[in-house]
Amino acid sequence: MTDDGGFVPYDLLHRRCAEAGDLDAAEALLDELGLRMFIEQWWLDDDGRQIPVLIQEVHRDRVVVAPTAEGAIAKAADMTAAIELLLPTDRLYSR
């Protein structure tokens, strides 16, 4: 909430989604975003190397991602190679 009573919507990854507005607009935007991030494809910046990943879990303070096979038809993730990132992070972005 801003000093003037506006609401700033943030997604599960602590990213700002829009400018401050009224509560109904902020809630509507977050409802629209929903859980879509779990089916989107993401890149993980690993010291300059871009690794394709899927989000496995989101917690209040961290996100867990799993590497995927780039170019694969199905979204197959290697769940045994999970990578945990503290939130907020600048290492994860949508493809």
pLDDT score of 72 = 54
* pLDDT tens digit sequence for 42-74: 999 999 999 999 999 999 999 999 988 765 555
- The full set of domain ranges for the chain reads 1-34, 37-94
pTM value > 0.85: no
Q: Left if phi > 0, otherwise alpha if psi is -120 to 50, otherwise beta: which for 41? A: beta
In this predicted structure, the answer to whether residue 13 has a pLDDT above a threshold of 70 is yes
What radius of gyration, in Å, describes the C-alpha atoms of the chain? 15
